[in-house]
Amino acid sequence: METTKIWSQMTLELKTRLSSAALKTWFSEASFGRVWKENGEKKFEIFCKNNFCREQLEKRYGPLITATLEKIIGENIKTVFQVRPDGQTKKWSGPIFDSSFDAGQAVKPSGLNPTQTFVNFVVGSSNKLAFAAAQAVSETPGSSYNPLFLYGGTGVGKTHLLSAIGNKLKEKNSLIITYAACESFTNQFIDSLVKKTTKSFRDKYRKVDVLLIDDVQFLSGREGFQEEFFHTFNELHGAKKQVVLTSDKHPQEIGRLEERLVSRFLGGLTCDIAQPELELKTAILLSKAKKQGLEITEDVAVIIAKGCQNTRELEGALIKIASSAKFLGNGFDLESIHKTLGLQGDKTKKVGPKQIISAVCRYYQLKTSQIFTPDKKRVVSLPRQIIMYLMRKELGLSYVLIGDLLHKKDHTTIIHGVKKIKKQIETSPSFKEDVLHIKDLI
């Protein structure tokens, strides 16, 4: 495979696995050097701007880079990190990641990651609304939900759904689709001002049928860019062209964002994608493991999932497990996984009422004894009701038994508490996040 193709594929892989901040900090000045064989082993040389960057890149991302390259070329390789000699030009296509990089340069026609589709998106309670909305947009762009605004934390699947929409719409050859990270949008706008090519820039983003913008929170505090994006949005929306945006925050929570933009973003459908629950994390892990040919049982997958907060952490764990199996001969049994990931033994303990009570009390900084008092103040009653809900949902205990455990004689109190928490989870994204964090503590 040509080095330029390896370059493009590696860039896309890293872009889907790492945050923009990590890419910009550690990869912006790194580049490919030589590729050669020594004693039958293929070696890839990666140049870094100084010794500190070399050490950090090798320590933090060496295994990921190696695994990514091996996946692309289909053979074992060794990556060699070097400080770029003074005055030496970059041998290959440029930096591994450039903050102004437009994925559209690597994958035609729209910069979408072709591996991220609706088919391989694992659906659970935390993302089913966003998934359904994304599918609807891909079927009738410009008329279902416009704009569609997806928001949530790192690694919850926002970019995957954005790419899935684009990949589905690409099947309709007549549509013009443009995808860009918001940071790329702003960098290209600056470049167009410097080169006096603003017309070309505006044509690229305004003469389209579908505009997909990732990480729109990067507009925060950037008045000039907000002005440009506002007019781009208005022109597209007025022409009934589809706009899909992602962010790590709700539009109203993005600081220093003009009210007129907030209003536009809220004009369609806003979907929260919460951190995946344990069942979804387990399903995602098993799906990705199967795709990579890793024979991981469901019991082991549950243990791994408990130690990960999101999809990126799951992917990182799988890379570590695969590398450990390949280079150290470790297996996929529970003992080997514990050794590879450094999991603590107590994560394998069976969950019971005591663990739930302990997790809730830790989260809300309460003494366990407070839960069993008749105190009706919200600071105590809300955690108590969460305990009722989790005992019912996670353990399947009867209302009567939950009442006995919490020293409540009237089991209708338990029924009321469970219903109240269930309703609050359905109506409050922030409260739902609280409950998910508590579940991770169990």
Full 3-state SS string of 306-369? HCCCCHHHHHHHHHHHHHHHHHHCCCCCHHHHHHHHCCCHHHHCCCCHHHHHHHHHHHHCCCHH
Enumerate the known binding-site residues. 155, 157-159
Whole-angstrom distance, CA of residue 138 vs CA of residue 133: 9
The count of other CB atoms within 10 Å of the CB of residue 204 is: 19
Beta bridge partners of 178: 211
Beta bridge partners of 150: 246, 271
Q: Do residues 57 and 117 lie in contact, with contact meaning Cβ atoms separated by under 8 Å?
A: no
- Closest to 134 in 3D by CA, of 110, 114, 117: 117
* Helix, strand or coil, per DSSP, at residue 113: coil
Amino acid identity at 225: F
Interior angle at CA 90, CA 189 and CA 101, nearest 5: 25
Give, in order, the Cα–Cα distances in Å from 105 to each of 4, 18, 101, 111: 12, 19, 8, 7
Whole-angstrom distance, CA of residue 265 vs CA of residue 277: 27
Enumerate the known binding-site residues for ATP. 155, 157-159
